[in-house]
Amino acid sequence: MGSPAPSPDGPTAENPLTLLTLDELRQRTSVKWRMHPPDVLPLWVAEMDVPLAPPVADALRRAIDLGDTGYPHGTAYAEALGDFAARRWDWHDFRVGHTAVVPDVMMGIVEVLRLVTDPADAVVVCSPVYQPFYAFVSHAGRQVIEAPLGADLRMDPAALDEAFRQARACGRRPAFLMCNPHNPTGVVHRRDELEDVAELAARHGVRVISDEIHAPLVLPGTHFTPYLTVAGAENAFALISASKAWNLAGLKAALVVAGPRAAADLDRMPEEVGHGPSHLGVIAHTAAFRAGGPWLDLLLDGLDANRTLLATLLAKHLPSVGYHRPEGTYLAWLDCTALGVATAQPAGEPGAASDLAGPAQMFLDRARVALSSGHVFGTGGAGFVRLNFATSPAILTEAVTRMGQALDTHPPSAG
Ligand SMILES: Cc1ncc(COP(=O)(O)O)c(C=O)c1O
């Protein structure tokens, strides 16, 4: 693995997932590479093993050279997203005036919840889902109601209908926190499914908040539909940033986008929320949406190849593990229930990202591969693991080979 780093002078035609060696990655100080000892291959938290996209690195370098490190100003970020959304997703009535910059997607979600729900109101989520949906909602004093995904891992209108009814019974102003593309399953919701959501939400008086952080990461063969382009979604909100697709989680800045009938709510967002995003974050995210398209296309090709490689590796080394080919994200949701590993849940609330149990603990102990444990994603997650395949084919191959060998040498039934 590993070839020379890309030229800082322009885009490269190489797969960004093949440009950093394991030795280089181990020098990183972010949580992915520091949570576990150096013999562990980390395929857990949603960070990617890529260098910065050249247009993003250039924009940051320019800011550093100028000492342009003051407070953020203006609407360049929203304008760049609006242009990107029109080009990629045919979203032509994106209104820059209906956006607000927030520190990150999760903080934006919490602030929108404060605008459209009251303490103790219910927030519906489709489990299994990104674990902070539980922790952040409950820490904001709202209660979570689950509408589990169907067996095909898609949203289940009957479960949503029932959850919305319950949510309505619990309080005056319920909300639905949707994840599209869905983390951890990689499902991308279709327009007809989103129309069902809008119809159900209108019927029950539920406000929809759509977390679309993974939207640029929809893989070849699938099209992303922004929720705010769906009829009936006019009073909803979307949360979007360049953080996942360009690996910018450490450069804080995200956007809340309000539908036309939610803009007045967004106007009530307290001023201090806009003081949280970092100016360098805004610069980086703006450059990503404005000029990061060619790099993103190379990345998507690399991720597409990795999702196929993963299928081949699992068939060879872990044939009893179920793999539902993701349509978006770089996350694979692996059904390990047939391995027979005990899946007892440790005490504690869902949302504790470092909690390990069952198959994830077993793969960490015996294969020295770190995965996310399925049980933290809520109902339906126990017995699963989430594998982050935004890495080089060489690291992915080594990790799955080790996982297979761990089972060969220590079959779970033998303890
Ligand atoms: C669905 C989803 N929402 C939000 C986040 C976190 O985004 P941020 O760091 O902008 O809060 C992630 C990170 O992986 C995610 O997968």
- Is residue 248 in contact with ligand 1, taking CB distance under 6 Å? no
The partner residues of 239 in beta bridges, in order of sequence, read 211, 256
β-bridge pairing 372-373 and 384-388: antiparallel
Task: Give the C-alpha separation, 156 to 195, whole Å.
Answer: 13
- Is residue 115 in contact with ligand 1, taking CB distance under 6 Å? no
Q: Which atom of ligand 1 is nearest to the CA of 108?
A: 11
Query: Taking the chain (415 residues) in consecutive chunks of 10 residues, what is each chunk's mean pLDDT?
Result: 42 84 97 97 98 98 98 97 98 98 98 98 98 97 98 97 97 97 98 98 98 98 98 98 98 98 98 96 98 98 98 98 97 96 58 69 97 96 97 98 92 58
The whole-number pLDDT of residue 353 equals 44
For atom 12 of ligand 1, the residue with the nearest CA is: 213
DSSP result, 100-159: EEESSHHHHHHHHHHHH--TT-EEEE-SS--THHHHHHHHTT-EEEE----TTSS--HHH
The whole-number pLDDT of residue 299 equals 98
Task: Give the C-alpha separation, 271 to 63, whole Å.
Answer: 25
Half-sphere exposure of 15 (CA within 13 A, CB side): 17
The whole-number pLDDT of residue 341 equals 87
Q: Which atom of ligand 1 is nearest to the CA of 252?
A: 10
Task: Give the C-alpha separation, 217 to 329, whole Å.
Answer: 5
The whole-number pLDDT of residue 344 equals 53
Q: In 3D, which of 390, 96, 384 has the Cα closest to residue 256? A: 96
- Is residue 211 in contact with ligand 1, taking CB distance under 6 Å? yes
For atom 7 of ligand 1, the residue with the nearest CA is: 105
Owner of token pair 């520091």: 34
- Is residue 406 in contact with ligand 1, taking CB distance under 6 Å? no
> 104 alpha carbon to ligand 1 midpoint, in Å?
8
Q: Are 324 and 186 in contact (CB under 8 A)?
A: yes
Dihedral sign of CA atoms 270, 272, 278, 279 in order:
positive
The whole-number pLDDT of residue 357 equals 76
Owner of token pair 């070839």: 3
Burial class of 8 by CB neighbour count within 10 A (0 to 12, 13 to 18, 19+) = exposed
